[in-house]
A and B are shown apart, each in its own frame.
Chain A
Amino acid sequence: MTVRRVIAVAFLTLGFLCLAGPASAHPLGNFTVNRYTGILVSPDGLLLDHVVDLAEIPTAQLGNRLHDLQRLGAEECASIRTDLQVNVSGARLPLTLESSGASTRPGQGGLPITRISCRFAGDVRLSRGTADISFVDQSSPGTIGWREVTAIGNRMQLVHSDVPTTSTSDRLRHYPTNLLKSPLSVNTAHLSVEPGGPPASLPDTGSAPTARPAAGLVGETSRLLNNGGTFAAMAAVLLALVLGASHALAPGHGKTVMAFYLSQRGSSGSSRRSSVGSALAVGATVTASHTGSVLALGVLVSVSTQVVPSELYPWLSLLTGLLILGLGLSLVSSSRRASAAGHGHGHGHGHRHGGGHGLDHDHDHEHGHPHDHSDSHPEVAAAPAATATLLLDPPRTEEAHVVPVVVSATPSRRAGLWVMGLVGGLVPSPSALLLLLAAVALGRAWLGVVLVVAFGVGMACTLAGVGILARDLLLRVESLALRRGRMGAHVRRFLAYGAAAGVCAVGVGVILRAVLVR
């Protein structure tokens, strides 16, 4: 585990975000065992790059051996070594195992699939004259799957070769879907080589599967899980944090909502601390609800064979939509109350910091409501907030957690906080679920739970951080607008109703989509 690898993995994360989706079936069928051998002919010997790609069922056949991937790789490669026959000018070339590795990644139904990579070397002097090389892969005869051999020369020329120089499957990462090509079934090669030609090397032979970034990252995390050491476990947790943090950066996570919510928490500079506190509180609720929903779904999926996650998502988004709609409706009613009260500062007063409240309430409750200057500030801030949210954060994915903008208008602040957290974390992220299932598949469920918590914390950090930043910006704009001119009461009321209606509309939209997608 090098530092560079960690960095590479972190970068992969970005790709992961874009591509994370339901894991799909192995492209070649669940029963296949696919093998590739790349031969590099150099003047001082041969290098063989051998890759085995096991689909879901053959992986399941490995059973307990999956729990120790390093050992699995070493054992498999050792047995493959005796099955690869290389003859140079008629004499059998002894091979030595240079490196081995195995990794898993989730395939169909969250089940792991396995990739084993081995590198073998055989020393032989080829610098004089022409030599004939023949290669036969006799490993696992009769298994069904893709079989491919390639050969290239390094300062050697392949005068004759019956195999191509490059892998059409990108070393078992992308199987061609061309309808006019039969699946490859090549397990032999015959080469004539002589010295000369440009230098070359084998393609990168890292053991991490990189077919899809999603796969690569989870595979990497699984590998870390398998290492067993404390460092590896910590690295995996860090990775999950990064994953969560960057996951929340993707569009549709209600960051703007968070910003406007926080702007409600205290619009004057004096209460900066409390708004940071609120940010932490909301972050905590997001983490808690997300962790809870991932764990619940994970338990359901592992315990019951009838639960298919993709069937649950629409229901969860439906629930999210209902929550948003509820918020919107309460907003409408409070706007009406506010306008009935005249200048729209008739809300929230009852909740001002009072005796007998616990410490939390410092966060949950408003101190800095600026009643001292310019009446009904909250609504001024609130109304454009909701409108802006609608523009910035259309419900793009099932995870779209938009809107509970004017939470301050709900009867209970604390309830608003929890609704906020629920809306943000109710729909579990598929990536977190994958992490959990991968950990469970590897027999380390507890670490999976830790990873999911870390994932949630990462998400919350991003949401809160972005929220606080945006809040400052918003407050600055707001005070500028107030200094410049006065907004009429009509505009204010219009905006308040518009926001409420908008929140309702988004809620209805999410509900409709959840219903229609089903």
Chain B
Amino acid sequence: MWKYLVALAVAMVLAVSGGIGFVHSRDDGSPVTAPASAREVPLGAQQNLAGVIDALQVRLQELPEDAESWAALGLSYVEQARVDGNPQYYPKAQGAIERSLSVQPTDNADGLAARAALESARHHFAAALHSARQSLRINPRDRTALAIRVDALAELGRYTDELKALRLADNRQPGIPVVARYSYAYELRGHLDKALHLLLRSAKSGSRADQAYLLTLAADLQRRTGHPDAAMRSLHLALRSTPGYVPALASRARLAVAQGNLHIAVHRWRDVAARLPLPEYLTELGELYLDLGHRAQAARQFAVVGTTVRLFDAAGVDTDLEAALFDADHGVEHRALVNARDEWQRRHSVLVADSLAWALHMNGHDRAALRMSDKATHLGTRDARMWMHRGQIEAALGLDAAARRDLRLGLSLDPGVSPWQADRAREVLRQVVGR
């Protein structure tokens, strides 16, 4: 009898405390909404990203064993890093994703997809592709994994597979992420108008953060296709939705170059370089200084880029393509070749081919450079620098007709291209025409 009473008391205590625990976790409100929204986060989210991150953080403090929320949080951190170009979020993303995968080591499609996104953001495309495939094996409809697989294939230079993956993603999970990727596929293949159309369409329905991202891409295309006023409007909208969005500010500086206002361009590039001193930005600022005859100012920018490249080397980070191009033009030519070759070992995208072709040319291997340039231009990408590079390589080999054609093409493709680069191409064109 006594035994039963004790058992009953224990049962009641358990029930009540369990009930309290239950009510307590419900009372917090926000956590309950978190997982539902978490699924929506991936690439093209509707919600305010910061709000989602807050909610997930609160939820995980209550339920630290929730693998799905950890994966969602990791993915949100990756997104946050992309949206405001803030690398502080990457280590956190990595920690959260590792946590998700250790809490639930098997059948964790979300965790694997988030890992794919992080690896892609860090430019480890082969690893990203691997993780995305692992994720899709568990959940063939995982939105993030479908999108990241497309990105990774494009960056690895597997363009046929890219299109297949894109169609598959469109069948399984149509939406803004897929549209944005179709747009990039068109852009790579030289169909800028179609690419622009898709970007503008998806920007209309994207989240605020995505609007800045998509509109900036659109503005670049508008500038390149000769619509500077439309580009200005897009950038204005982008900066209104995310004030201080650095890629938009950089695009605005290029627009000033396109419109011939070099002094305004210097002013804008300096602002960009102060906010986020990426090698590519500093190089453009430095080249602008060179063009305006401020050699000392240019040298200062190039010194910082050189430091950055050294830093990346020391850290074992895969050097940026922009850094390799910088080295070929203003830095250590030999190092440019080493880095570009390394990158070519890893992936065969047209942009890597262009960097390697240019590095080969600057090191005097013009025949190999032309062969590589064939690979760079085989999709018909309408990239100004790519064609200017090709033209200069052809000029070095004495292929004057081809050089004339390609240099003229390159010079016509982007009025916002670095004026120093354009001047150099123009100089070569003048020589070729003269002989």
Chain A residues at the B interface, C-beta cutoff of 8 Å: 25, 27-32, 56-58, 60-61, 63, 108-111, 140-146, 177, 179-183, 305-306, 308
Contacts and interface: CB of A to CB of B under 8 A. Distances in A.
Interface of B: 50, 53-54, 57, 60-61, 73, 80, 84-92, 95-96, 99, 244, 246, 271, 273-278, 300, 303-304, 307-311, 313-315, 332, 335, 338
Nearest first, the 7 A-B pairs at minimum CB distance are A109-B314, A29-B87, A60-B307, A142-B244, A142-B275, A179-B95, A180-B57
B315 A144 contact: no
Given A57-B304, A140-B274, A180-B61, A31 B311 contact: no
B53 A60 contact: no
B311 A183 contact: no
Nearest to B316: A308
Contacts, number: 100
A60 B303 contact: yes
A111 B303 CA distance: 13
B99 A305 contact: no
A182 B57 contact: yes
Nearest to A27: B91
Given A111-B310, A142-B244, A142-B275, A183 B99 contact: no
Contacts of B50: 182
A61 B270 CA distance: 11
Main secondary structure of the interface of A (DSSP, over half): loop
A63 B311 contact: no
A142 to B, nearest CB: 4
Nearest to A57: B277
Main secondary structure of the interface of B (DSSP, over half): helix
Contact of B88 (A57, A109, A183, A308): A183
A138 B104 CA distance: 44
A146 B84 CA distance: 13
A305 B84 contact: no
A412 B314 CA distance: 42
A86 B278 CA distance: 33
A179 B313 contact: no
28 contacts: A25-B315, A27-B91, A32-B87, A56-B311, A57-B277, A57-B311, A63-B300, A63-B303, A108-B311, A109-B310, A109-B313, A109-B314, A142-B246, A143-B275, A143-B276, A144-B86, A144-B87, A146-B88, A177-B95, A179-B92, A179-B96, A181-B57, A183-B88, A183-B89, A305-B332, A306-B313, A306-B338, A308-B313
B33 to A, nearest CB: 17
B49 to A, nearest CB: 11
Given A31-B87, A63-B303, A144-B275, A305 B310 contact: yes
B38 to A, nearest CB: 14
B244 A141 contact: yes
A187 to B, nearest CB: 13
Q: Could you say which of B99, B313, B314, B338 has the most chain A C-beta atoms within 10 Å of its C-beta?
A: B314
Given A29-B88, A56-B307, A181-B57, 10 more contacts: A28-B87, A28-B88, A30-B311, A61-B274, A142-B271, A143-B275, A144-B275, A145-B88, A180-B73, A308-B314
B335 A111 contact: no
B86 A57 contact: no
Contacts of A146: 88
A340 B53 CA distance: 80
A29 B81 CA distance: 12
B60 A61 contact: no
Nearest to B273: A61
A68 B96 CA distance: 42
Contacts of B87: 28-32, 144
Nearest to B76: A182
Contacts of A143: 274-276
Contact of B99 (A58, A63, A179): A179
A67 to B, nearest CB: 14
A145 to B, nearest CB: 7
B114 to A, nearest CB: 13
A183 B77 CA distance: 11
B53 to A, nearest CB: 6
B79 to A, nearest CB: 13
A111 B315 CA distance: 12
A77 B274 CA distance: 17
Contacts of B276: 31, 143-144
Given A29-B88, A60-B303, A109-B315, A180 B310 contact: no
Contacts of B54: 182
Nearest to B89: A183
Nearest to B249: A142
Contact of A31 (B244, B278, B313): B278
B61 A144 contact: no
Nearest to A309: B314
Contact of B91 (A60, A177, A180, A182): A177
Contacts of B84: 144
Q: Could you say which of A56, A179, A182, A308 has the most chain B C-beta atoms within 10 Å of its C-beta?
A: A179
A60 B304 contact: yes
Contacts of A111: 307, 310-311
Nearest to B74: A179
B241 to A, nearest CB: 15
A61 B304 contact: yes
Contacts of B53: 182
Nearest to B85: A144
Contacts of A31: 87, 276-278
A56 B91 CA distance: 18
Contacts of B274: 61, 140, 142-143
A110 B244 CA distance: 32
Contacts of B335: 305-306
A182 B50 CA distance: 9
A183 B314 contact: no
Given A29-B88, A31-B87, A57 B332 contact: no
Nearest to B308: A57
Contacts of B99: 179
Contacts of B273: 61
A145 B85 CA distance: 11
A109 B309 CA distance: 11
